A and B are shown apart, each in its own frame.
Chain A
Amino acid sequence: MIILNKKFNEIEKNISKIQEVKGRSLWHDARVRFFKNKAAVVSLTTLFLVLLFSFLGPIFAKWSNEEIDWSVLGDISTLGYPSIETGHYFGTDELGRDLFSRVIQGTKISLMVGIVGALIAVVVGTIYGATAGYFGGRIDSIMMRIVDILMSIPYMFVLILLLVIFGRSILMLFIGIGLVSWLDMARIVRGQTLSIKKKEYVEAAITIGVSHFTIIRRHIIPNLLGVVAVYATLLVPGMILTESFISFLGLGVQEPNTSWGALISEGAGTMRYGTLWQLLFPLFFFVISLFSFFFIGDGLRDALDPKDR
């Protein structure tokens, strides 16, 4: 009888293993809500297409981004016109370089700056802010005062100074933007941590005896990610705008690398010669990408509704 019972218990355990019900996490719910938001979905698709453009574009390009087409030099406003026969789908710039390839190049660089910059901000800012907020007291005060001091340094000034001293390279750009981008994120994450810290499940974790850093990793950060994700999608356009501004001033990436800002700057300069396409194509990509990030950020915020947190 006992053996039979044991066997039944085993079978029961096996059955319950098979029939484990799938859970519906909050991320899943948020995903469902996000995809119901038409503007967000359209924006996501747009961004995806832009990314696709930057990766697959070179396959279609007839000219590289450095090659100068001597045949159009001298009369760009008529000969450098966008056309499919010449292979200059977007036309050429004032130096005879193919704008299509240049725009692809610019897209790659600008998106990279934006996304990498936002990533640095997210990782550094989250860890810094969560630590300060969780430990509180003196540690929090000191860490946040450092943030305040760094924030009060005129950012543009430092960035331009760095670029002038150490030369214009993509690496320098990343360092410069990275140095400042995490500050806002740290503040926001610290604020959120302060309110999450008081929640009962954090108290429960302390009662269980979970170590501090495990609590931060397991309980605090996952519950922050909603806010962080929304803010990060708004950081990306911010980074791109900063980089564009620097490039517009002429201090951004060096030739032959280019970015949206640099392209727009050149395009704006040659506008009066009638070569409007030089401005409009980079501007178009710039604008739709930024709009897409903003709509995605909005969509994320609605999807990750605080009511569910």
Chain B
Amino acid sequence: MFDKLLSVQNISVDYTSNSFLFPWEKNLTFRAVDNVSFDVLEGETLGMVGETGSGKSTIAKAIINILKISSGEIFFQNNQISNLNEKKIKKFRKEIQMIFQDPLASLNPRMNVGEIISEPLKTHNSKLSKNDINLQVKEIMENVGLLSNQINRYPHEFSGGQCQRIGIARSVILKPKLIICDEPVSSLDVSIQAQVINLLKELQKKYNLTYLFITHDLNIAKHMSDNIMVLQFGKMVEINKSNEVFNNPKEDYTKQLISSIPRIK
């Protein structure tokens, strides 16, 4: 039992432009993430809230090793996973998965639903028989609210909400420990957002998942998260229990964010 499932310590991510052919040219550096630290405990949901340019997506990509961090370390179950090469990180990929923002864009338009959802299985479990894979895929499809007889259909034949369910199925099928949700409902219609949020919560209970939930929508962040971290321009502004952040915001920026939330009643 690992208490701290994910431990991010003092990470910074810089974007530099340097030229291979003209190494004497000045390097331009942009610091997207500046000295951010946080822990995620097993079974909880940490909400990452911030506006454009706050660095939340960058942090997500750094955790799953799509981006390299310039300083600091990331630990997963007490193993260092930051800046590892592809071979070493492959076994961790089973345990850390991601749900992407644009549901249709995150699915390969040339693959059908069955192929998309079974890709993680085939990658990590190459010995499974075709039948086994089929059954597992269908089971997951039913669990995320899709009809399993749609298994041969292609992404463009589904609505946005259904595509996101396919993405969720794909990320859950290996029963990972940590799922990073990068604005999973931002591009969906309002009435579908609630359906997907409910689904995510259901799956969390069912599979004992831990979420790192990135969003710019504070209402949803409050509903989903146990703890909330507020980011601005790559720096951490505030991190606290969800209720505390909303009822007793300590920093000015947090207060400004909360007061900008459009209220219906």
Q: Do chains A and B touch in the complex (CB under 8 A)?
A: yes
Residues on A lying within 8 angstroms of B by beta carbon are 13, 16, 19-27, 137-138, 141, 199-201, 203-212, 214, 218-219, 222-223, 308-309
In the complex, residue of chain B having the shortest beta-carbon distance to the beta carbon of A141: B20
Q: B156 contacts the other chain (Cβ, under 8 Å)?
A: yes
Q: Known interface pairs A24-B154, A208-B123, A223-B110. Does A203 touch B135 (Cβ–Cβ under 8 Å)?
A: no
C-beta contact mask, B102-141 vs A, less than 8 Å → 1, else 0?
1001111111110000011001100000000001001000
Instruction: Decide: A26 and B154 in contact? CB cutoff 8 A.
Output: yes
Taken together as a complex, chains A and B put the C-alpha atoms of A218 and B108 apart, in Å, by 9
How far apart sit A262 and B109, CA to CA, in the bound complex (Å)?
Answer: 46
Q: A204-B170, A206-B66, A208-B123 are in contact. Are A20 and B149 (CB under 8 A)?
A: yes
Contacts of A222 in B (CB 8 A): 108, 110-111
Q: Would A205 and B119 count as touching, CB distance under 8 A?
A: yes
Contact assessment for A204 and B100 in the assembled complex, using a CB-CB cutoff below 8 Å: yes
Quick check: B86 and A212 within 8 Å, CB to CB?
Answer: yes
How far, in Å, is A213 (CB) from chain B's closest CB?
Answer: 12
Closest to A221 in B: B110
* Residue of B20, B96, B109, B119 touching A210 (CB-CB under 8 A): B119
User: 1/0 contact trace for B51-67 toward A, CB 8 Å?
Assistant: 00000000001001010
B66 and A207 contact, CB distance less than 8 A: yes
Asked if B195 is at the interface of the complex by the 8 Å CB criterion, the answer is no
A141 touches B21 (CB 8 A): yes
A200-B100, A208-B93 in contact; A19/B157 too (CB < 8 A)?
no
Task: Tell me whether B93 and A13 are in contact (CB under 8 A).
Answer: no
- List 7 additional A-B contacts (Cβ < 8 Å) besides A207-B96, A222-B108, A222-B111: A141-B21, A205-B108, A207-B64, A208-B170, A209-B89, A210-B119, A308-B109
A177 to nearest B CB, angstroms?
31
Cβ contact within 8 Å between A199 and B153: no
On whether the beta carbons of B110 and A16 are closer than 8 Å, the reply is no
**CB-defined contacts of B157 to chain A, threshold 8 Å:** 23-24
With the chains together, A210 CA to B116 CA distance in Å?
12
B153 in complex: contacting residue of A24, A141, A211, A212, CB < 8 Å: A24
**How far apart are the CA atoms of A208 and B108 in the complex, in Å?**
13
Q: Is B186 an interface residue (CB 8 A)?
A: no
- Pick the most buried of A13, A138, A199, A209: most chain B CB atoms within 10 A of its CB: A209
Q: Which residues of B contact A199 (CB under 8 A)?
A: 105
B152 contacts A21, CB within 8 Å? yes
A223 touches B152 (CB 8 A): no
Chain A residue nearest to B174 in the complex (CB):
A208
Residue contact B109 to A223, C-beta cutoff 8 Å? yes
> Are B20's CB and A25's CB within 8 A?
no
Q: Which A residues lie within 8 Å of B101 (CB)? A: 200
In the bound complex, residues from chain B placing their C-beta under 8 Å from that of A137 are: 20
Closest 4 CB pairs of A and B: A209-B93, A23-B152, A200-B106, A23-B153
Complex contacts, B138 vs chain A, CB 8 Å:
13, 16
* B107 touches which of A20, A201, A309 (Cβ 8 Å): A201
Instruction: Give B147-173 interface residues, CB cut-off 8 Å to A.
Output: 147-154, 156-157, 167, 170
Say whether B97 faces chain A, with CB atoms less than 8 Å apart.
yes
For residue B229, CB closer than 8 A to chain A, the reply is no
A-B contact pairs, 28 of them (CB 8 A): A16-B149, A20-B149, A20-B151, A21-B152, A23-B113, A23-B152, A23-B157, A24-B153, A24-B157, A25-B154, A26-B156, A27-B110, A141-B21, A200-B105, A200-B106, A201-B109, A203-B100, A204-B98, A204-B100, A207-B96, A207-B98, A208-B119, A209-B89, A209-B124, A212-B86, A222-B108, A223-B108, A308-B156
B177 at the interface (CB under 8 A from A): no
Q: Tell me which residues across on chain A come within 8 A of B167, comparing CB atoms.
A: 204
Which residues of A lie under 8 Å from residue B107 when comparing CB positions? 201, 204
Distance of A267 Cα from B111 Cα, bound (Å): 52
Q: How far is the CA of A6 from the CA of B107 in the complex (A)?
A: 34
- Least CB separation from A27: chain B residue: B110
- CB-CB under 8 A from A13, the residues of chain B are 135, 138
Q: Which residues of B contact A218 (CB under 8 A)?
A: 108, 111, 119
Set of chain A residues within 8 Å of B113, measured between Cβ atoms: 23
Contact B97 A208 (CB under 8 A): yes
Give Cα A18–Cα B93 distance, bound, in whole angstroms: 35
Q: How far is the CB of A11 from chain B (nearest CB, A)?
A: 14
Contact B123 A210, beta carbon cutoff 8 Å = yes
Contacts of A203 in B (CB 8 A): 61, 66, 100, 106
